[in-house]
Structure 1
Amino acid sequence: MHLVRGALVALLGLEEDIEVVAELADGDDIVPTALEVKPDVAVIDIDLAGMDGLTAAAQLQEVMPECRTLILTSLGRPGTFRRALAAGVRGFLLKDAPPRQLAQAIRRVAQGERVVDPDLMVAAWDSGDNPLTERETEVLRLAADGAEVTEIAGRLYLSVGTVRNYLTSTVVKLNARNRLDAVRIAREAGWV
């Protein structure tokens, strides 16, 4: 990722009207650094060490709404795109987009426009909504990260039986064979 990030910074450095003011590897550093350097646009990947990019984008929107966010990711799933919109993201581009398109997207987002990969927009339009409740999604996300039922219960202040009920509910709602299959389905849809 350091190589890709460095290449992007170098590429954007060739643009006369774009100045890169920070380059970060960890999602936990996004909000504090943005508050310090005050960028017009934050280009963020979703899959980061520490805090994920969508959570960082949502926090950035809360504390610094004048900074617009552009997600640049390889996770081009309709559910992920919807989560990005809910986080207040102004742009969503896939990493396989042509390099020139990134610079144009940054300019457009800086001007207040929305920029979205057209194929992803159509896929999001055609895909179904997440059938899981917010709590079911939260429980499944923790299970997907490898947390055991007792650990999930402790972290969410729920009983073990309630956590098991949520997990069973996710399996049923997603028409999955088991919890692992439910995680796979939810990840493919971009819900977790």
Structure 2
Amino acid sequence: MIRVLLAEDQHVIRSGLVALLGLEDGLEVVADVGRGDDAVSAALVHRPDVAVLDIDMPGADGLTAAAALREKLPACRTLMLTGHGAPGQLRRALDAGVGGFLLKTAPPDELVAAIRTVHAGGRVLDPSLAVTAWDLAADPLTPREKDVLRLLADGAEPAEIARSLHLSAGTVRNHLTAVVTKLNARGRPDAVRIARESGWID
């Protein structure tokens, strides 16, 4: 029996998936949650064999939860579900050691097969993401540049960012200039958009 944890914030979708998986021989949904942070705590209680995680969830996104599960419950394999497969998300998924990456538009039998494959130690990649996988763009931003860009995305001005990160205003401006240049962006707002769409910042 494969013990499955399901994390999906949309209640209707989550209920449908629980019902679907409950009809399959050899699968048992031992927990279902609607938040990423709840996925980790529920996994530590129920000890699932496979965690099926939506990427976009409140509390913590599915990729953050997957990385935490890899550290705290390494025997649990992870399968990501997403409505879209941005290259940056796929990169983060691979870095988090996930076993599979599937679009929500996949047929139900593909999801079931993916759970079985991941449980057996295999890897699954949605066929429509194969081209993306070949052309994964490496994250060009340094951790400090990401810190600066996240605060900018939250609406902070350069002077506020400098105070928050204990940097000089000039250093913050240099970081922002470097980010815009690296991302080939038209300006700071465009840099934020590119980094978010690529999955390099939350």
State the alpha-carbon separation in 2 of the partners of residues 48 and 158 from structure 1: 32
SS of 1:22 mapped into structure 2 = strand
Higher strand share: 2
Query: Does residue 1:23 correspond to 2:32, yes or no?
Result: yes
Match of 2:113 among 104, 114, 118: 104
Structure-2 residue corresponding to 1:182: 191
Provide the residue aligned with 1:169 in structure 2. Answer: 178
Identity among equivalent pairs (%): 64
Please say if 1:95 is aligned against 2:101.
no
Counterpart in 1 of 2:17?
8
Q: Report SS of the residue matched to 2:30.
A: coil
Partner of 1:66: 75
Instruction: Give the whole-Å Cα distance in 1 for the aligned partners of 2:57 and 2:94.
Output: 18
Aligned residue pairs total 192
| Structure 2: distance between partners of 1:151 and 1:8 | 44
Amino acid at match of 1:176: A
Q: Quote how far apart the aligned CAs of 1:145 are.
A: 4.2
Query: Aligned partners of 2:197, 2:176: CA distance in 1, in Å?
Result: 18
- Residue 149 of structure 1: how far off its partner (Å): 4.1
Structure 2 spans left out of the alignment, 5+ residues: 1-9
Contact 1:46–1:75 (CA<8 Å) still a contact in 2?
no
Question: RMSD of aligned C-alpha atoms?
Answer: 1.9
**Contact conserved, 1:79 with 1:124, CA < 8 A, in 2?**
no
Compute the displacement of 1:177 (Å): 1.4
5+ residue gaps, structure 1: none
Contact 1:12 1:20 in 2 (8 A): yes
Q: Deviations over 1:74-129 (max 9, x none)?
A: 13111110110101111100111111100110010011101111331321312432
Q: Structure 1 residue 53 and structure 2 residue 62: aligned?
A: yes
* Change over 3 Å in CA distance of 1:95–1:142 after alignment to 2: farther
Distance 2:24 2:18 in 1: 10
Q: Residue 87 and residue 142 in structure 1: after superposition, are their counterparts in 2 closer, same or farther (change >3 A)? A: farther
> 1:159 Cα shift?
4.2
Q: Which runs of 4+ in 1 moved over 6 A?
A: none
Partner SS, residue 85 of structure 1? helix
Determine whether 1:43 maps to 2:41: no
Q: Deviations over 1:17-61 (max 9, x none)?
A: 111111111111121111100000000111111111111110110
In the TM superposition, what are the counterparts of 1:131-150 in structure 2 within 5 Å? 131-149=140-158
